[in-house]
Chains A and B, each alone.
Chain A
Amino acid sequence: MAIIDPGHAARQLVYERIFRSATFCAAILVLVILGGVAVSLVRGAWPALQMFGPGFVIHEVWNPVTGKFGALGPMYGTIVTSAIAMLLAVPTGFGIALFLTELCPSWLKRPIGIAIELLAAVPSIIFGIWGLFVLAPVLQRHTQPWLIEHVGSLPFVGALFRGPPFGIGILTAGIVLAIMVLPFIAATMRDVFETVPAMLKESGYGLGATTWEVIWHVVVPHSRVGMVGGVMLGLGRALGETMAVTFVIGNAHRISASLLAPGSTISSAIANEFTEADGELYTSSLIALGLLLFLITFTVIALAQWMLRRLERQGRGGA
């Protein structure tokens, strides 16, 4: 007990102060960077926003020759491709995670787990090239003609699957995105499911519940918050993904009813056009697109937070 030494205590106090202000600075830095991004985006986008006003987000025209720009096409593409990706990846990721934690024989657990982590490590350009050279021809020759023939003739849903089979387009971009976000969703959900206390599950089994009942009444309710987190992580990546989408979306600033038609996303438009954009208005319109993506992502995250808050409150209320 010789450590009670006034000099030592004073030194510790100084260290503590230094450490505290260092961590505080690190935390503030995030806010400063975020604020800086927002300010420079608004400043860069200002000429375009001033020129087009709110019309910028409701017009579909994107014509560098006449200098008329509207963001509706890329916004539509961004949201629809991400929606398709979520539609495909969330159920699959959920299934993978459940299988791995609850149903999988233990010798298969590691290989599948590693495969998912490897999938997350593949660079997006590889997905783009694979999508263009491998997936697109298959879709063009087999999947899309079938969709056009059998689904395209149906009322309502049919409108989504009409037109020539190009192989690339909104649907292809959605599929590639789904594959890209799948590992994030699956891995997060798996980790969340693994945190469910074994005692809870075993109590369920002890009460005579089937595996199905344990999954739906114990595991899933216990992991709701984490599951939403995983989905949002995936959605965030899908919204901002650039390279892979640019390769397979068809890059047309048009809105078509059909999912087989080419479209564009905000990030693909910026990637395609920024290097050769000359003139203040053109560059500024592209920056304004970036600002919109910033706002869309911000809204999505805010919504997610709000949902999490509500789920937590419900969880407490139910308990």
Chain B
Amino acid sequence: MRLNSLRACCLLAAATVFAAAAGASDISGAGATFPYPVYAKWADAYKTLTGVGLNYQSIGSGGGIKQIKAKTVTFGASDAPLKEEELTAAGLVQFPMIIGGVVPVVNIKGVAAGQMTLDGATIAAIYLGEITSWNDSRIRKLNPKLNLPNAAIAPVYRADGSGTNFLFTDYLSKSSAEFKDKVGADKSVQWPAGIGAKGNEGVANMTTQTDGAIGYVEYAYAKQNKMTSVLLVNHDGKPVAPGAENFQAAAANADWAHSPAYDVVLTNQPGAASWPITGASFILVYRQPSDPDAVLGALKFFAWAYKDGGRMAADLDYVPVPPAVVALVKKTWVSSITANGKPVWSEK
């Protein structure tokens, strides 16, 4: 009996060592939770195709940035772009990998999905606690045809630090000087009003079970749960509905070419079709990696995902990066990621 368990232990230990050796060529990364489902799906397909696996720990953007700075992973992933100074200081380069959108959802008796129109300033006033009733004149002005009840508004926010929070507060800060001043944009902020729920599922649940609630969730979540989404008036003054083509429009209209560090937040971008709360999730790698082979392996995976991953992303309601931006990113790879003075990546 004891001998058996001893033998089992030895076998297990041997198996662990063997597995670690087999996984040595795997790509390792850590960071943002928002793109995790699509990275996992890509990784699965890529493994069947090439035999190279991806070990991605979705520990949150903050953790991803810490891990890449500690050089324990080949790439980090962040939902919010790092500022150019921070990238330079750490010797990192970043590029957008996947795009998604945040959608405000409401729960008002008699209002169906796509019937209500709101704009950034109005939503900011709601979350500041200034607009407290659904029949407020500012909401009526945007929705002259809707019969709005005199019901209290219950704002629901994401309590856990998240890229969703960052995009939403960044959009509200761009739309309202008062919001920028009093609350600001970050992955967690101090909300002056409302109630905090944990995760997309928490916000969705609080919104659906509270009369008069307004919340915001990732697009995939709103779509799959058939939530009552609203139209938003975008930068060009056009009301738009949330959808893949509108997120892509925002990404395509952003001024990537003049932001060499890709520190572009895709909220409130110009263009008639642009959805105003769009965001990209970013990848971080070293400019002069200590292990160029590992970085090359990761870049090969990313190049494959840019080329062949679009349909898989769309299945999960994510939006691929527009081709023009992909071309820019590849130029950055060649110019910025080097080992011994030579670019690590080359388009074959």
Contact partner of B61 (CB less than 8 A), chosen from A137, A168, A278, is: A278
Contacts A/B (CB < 8 Å), 16 sampled = A65-B185, A132-B205, A136-B209, A140-B210, A166-B206, A168-B197, A168-B206, A169-B195, A247-B202, A250-B196, A264-B196, A271-B160, A272-B160, A275-B59, A276-B60, A277-B161
Residues on the B chain within 8 Å of A166, using CB: 154, 195, 206, 210
Contact partner of B154 (CB less than 8 A), chosen from A62, A64, A164, A252, is: A164
Residues on the B chain within 8 Å of A246, using CB: 159, 198
Q: How far is the CB of A143 from chain B (nearest CB, A)?
A: 14
Is B186 close to A, CB under 8 A? yes
Give Cα distance in the complex from A136 to B154, angstroms. 15
Max chain A CB contacts within 10 Å: which of B33, B59, B159, B160? B159
Is A74 close to B, CB under 8 A? no
Given A140-B209, A251-B196, A276-B162, also A61-B154 (CB < 8 A): no
Residues on the B chain within 8 Å of A133, using CB: 205
The reply to whether A66 and B196 contact each other, CB–CB distance below 8 Å, is no
Is B220 close to A, CB under 8 A? no
Is B287 close to A, CB under 8 A? no
Against B, the Cβ 8 Å flags (1 = close, 0 = not) of A162-181 are 00101111000000000000
The reply to whether A167 and B160 contact each other, CB–CB distance below 8 Å, is no
Given A275-B161, A276-B62, A278-B61, also A61-B197 (CB < 8 A): no
Give Cα distance in the complex from A277 to B78, angstroms. 12
Is B125 close to A, CB under 8 A? no
Give Cα distance in the complex from A215 to B202, angstroms. 46
Is A273 close to B, CB under 8 A? yes
Q: How far is the CB of A10 from chain B (nearest CB, A)?
A: 28
Q: How far is the CB of B34 from chain A (nearest CB, A)?
A: 11
Residues on the A chain within 8 Å of B210, using CB: 140, 166-167
Which A positions have Cβ atoms within 8 angstroms of B? 61-66, 132-133, 136-137, 140, 164, 166-169, 246-247, 250-253, 262, 264, 271-278, 283
Is B131 close to A, CB under 8 A? no
Against A, the Cβ 8 Å flags (1 = close, 0 = not) of B195-235 are 11110001001100110000000000000000000000000
Give Cα distance in the complex from A283 to B66, angstroms. 11
Residues on the B chain within 8 Å of A274, using CB: 62, 161
Is B189 close to A, CB under 8 A? yes
Residues on the A chain within 8 Å of B209, using CB: 136-137, 140, 167
Given A167-B209, A247-B198, A251-B198, also A276-B190 (CB < 8 A): no
List of 9 A-B pairs having minimum Cβ-Cβ separation, nearest first: A276-B161, A275-B60, A251-B159, A251-B196, A65-B184, A63-B190, A272-B160, A278-B62, A276-B187
Given A132-B205, A137-B209, A166-B154, also A273-B186 (CB < 8 A): no
Is B339 close to A, CB under 8 A? no
Is B152 close to A, CB under 8 A? yes
Max chain B CB contacts within 10 Å: which of A65, A246, A276? A276
The reply to whether B160 and A276 contact each other, CB–CB distance below 8 Å, is yes
The reply to whether B196 and A262 contact each other, CB–CB distance below 8 Å, is yes
Is B191 close to A, CB under 8 A? yes
Is B188 close to A, CB under 8 A? yes
The reply to whether B184 and A272 contact each other, CB–CB distance below 8 Å, is no
Contact partner of B62 (CB less than 8 A), chosen from A63, A169, A252, A275, is: A275
Give Cα distance in the complex from A61 to B210, angstroms. 27
Residues on the A chain within 8 Å of B185, using CB: 65
The reply to whether A272 and B161 contact each other, CB–CB distance below 8 Å, is yes
Against A, the Cβ 8 Å flags (1 = close, 0 = not) of B130-169 are 0000000000000000000000101000011110000000
The reply to whether B195 and A262 contact each other, CB–CB distance below 8 Å, is yes
Residues on the B chain within 8 Å of A164, using CB: 152, 154
159-184 of chain B: CB within 8 A of chain A: 159-162, 183-184
The reply to whether A278 and B65 contact each other, CB–CB distance below 8 Å, is yes
Q: How far is the CB of A287 from chain B (nearest CB, A)?
A: 13
Is B297 close to A, CB under 8 A? no
Nearest chain A residue, comparing its CB with the CB of B196: A251
Residues on the A chain within 8 Å of B343, using CB: none
The reply to whether B61 and A276 contact each other, CB–CB distance below 8 Å, is yes
Given A136-B209, A167-B209, A272-B159, also A64-B187 (CB < 8 A): yes
The reply to whether B160 and A132 contact each other, CB–CB distance below 8 Å, is no
Residues on the B chain within 8 Å of A252, using CB: 159, 191, 194-196
Is B63 close to A, CB under 8 A? yes
Give Cα distance in the complex from A66 to B181, angstroms. 10
Max chain B CB contacts within 10 Å: which of A64, A271, A272, A278? A278
Residues on the A chain within 8 Å of B198, using CB: 246-247, 251, 272
Nearest chain A residue, comparing its CB with the CB of B180: A65
Given A63-B190, A64-B189, A65-B184, also A273-B196 (CB < 8 A): no
What would 20 more interface pairs be, CB under 8 Å, given A64-B161, A137-B209, A169-B195? A63-B189, A64-B187, A64-B189, A64-B190, A65-B186, A65-B190, A66-B184, A164-B152, A167-B209, A247-B202, A250-B195, A252-B196, A274-B161, A276-B60, A276-B62, A276-B160, A276-B162, A276-B188, A277-B62, A277-B161
Residues on the A chain within 8 Å of B154, using CB: 164, 166
Contact partner of B197 (CB less than 8 A), chosen from A251, A278, A283, is: A251
Give Cα distance in the complex from A274 to B198, angstroms. 13
Max chain A CB contacts within 10 Å: which of B33, B184, B196, B206? B196
Nearest chain B residue, comparing its CB with the CB of A165: B210
Q: How far is the CB of A71 from chain B (nearest CB, A)?
A: 14
Given A137-B209, A140-B209, also A273-B188 (CB < 8 A): yes
Q: How far is the CB of A135 from chain B (nearest CB, A)?
A: 12
Nearest chain A residue, comparing its CB with the CB of B209: A137
Residues on the B chain within 8 Å of A137, using CB: 209
Residues on the A chain within 8 Å of B159, using CB: 246, 250-252, 264, 272
Give Cα distance in the complex from A253 to B190, angstroms. 7
The reply to whether A168 and B186 contact each other, CB–CB distance below 8 Å, is no
Residues on the A chain within 8 Å of B184, using CB: 63, 65-66
Nearest chain B residue, comparing its CB with the CB of A137: B209
